[in-house]
Amino acid sequence: MSFKIAILVCLILMGFMACITYYLGKKMSNNLIKYIPVFSFAIGALFFYFKLNYISYKPYSIDGILDKISFIILLILGSIAFLEAVIIDIVENSKFFKNSYMDVRKAIKLVDVNKTFKIKMPSDIVKKIKGL
């Protein structure tokens, strides 16, 4: 399979995956729509991974090198898209995270924290053991 055909097949697979993810996002959960690029790049990287491992190349062909470069680029873009989706989730839910953090701070009082993390001197431990 030539590199031009591989790129075309990869783009078709990525577009098909984007359509499926969009459809599922509209029907099931809008949160899936944020992950469309992640799934698309993952399918593209998976295609080139299978192409590298299971399709043989002609001797002295540059297609193997181009496939490796494409695989690496798709992995990098997929990682960036995943980080973007996670950051968007955190920003959208920051009010939720802030409220839960404040509730935890209210539940733990400073006195309880000091009792828990109070540094005990060795003499205090010896007195406790001896029962003094």
Count Cβ atoms below 10 Å from residue 124 Cβ, excluding itself.
Answer: 11
Q: Confirm whether 51 is domain-assigned.
A: yes
How many Å is the maximal CA-CA distance in the chain? 85
| Domain enclosing residue 52, as ranges | 3-93
With b meaning 16 or more CB within 10 Å and e meaning fewer, what string describes 48-66? beebeeeeeeeeeeebeeb
Secondary structure, 3-state, 70-112: HHHHHHHHHHHHHHHHHHHHHHHCHHHHHHHHHHHHHHCCHHH
pTM above 0.75, yes or no: no
Q: Confirm whether 131 is domain-assigned.
A: no
Q: Confirm whether 10 is domain-assigned.
A: yes
Q: Confirm whether 124 is domain-assigned.
A: no
Q: Confirm whether 121 is domain-assigned.
A: no
Q: Confirm whether 49 is domain-assigned.
A: yes
Q: Confirm whether 48 is domain-assigned.
A: yes
The domain total for the chain is 1
How do the pLDDT tens digits run along the chain, 132 residues long?
788 888 899 999 999 999 999 998 888 888 888 889 999 999 999 999 998 888 877 777 888 888 899 999 999 999 999 999 988 888 777 766 666 666 666 666 554 555 555 555 566 666 666 665
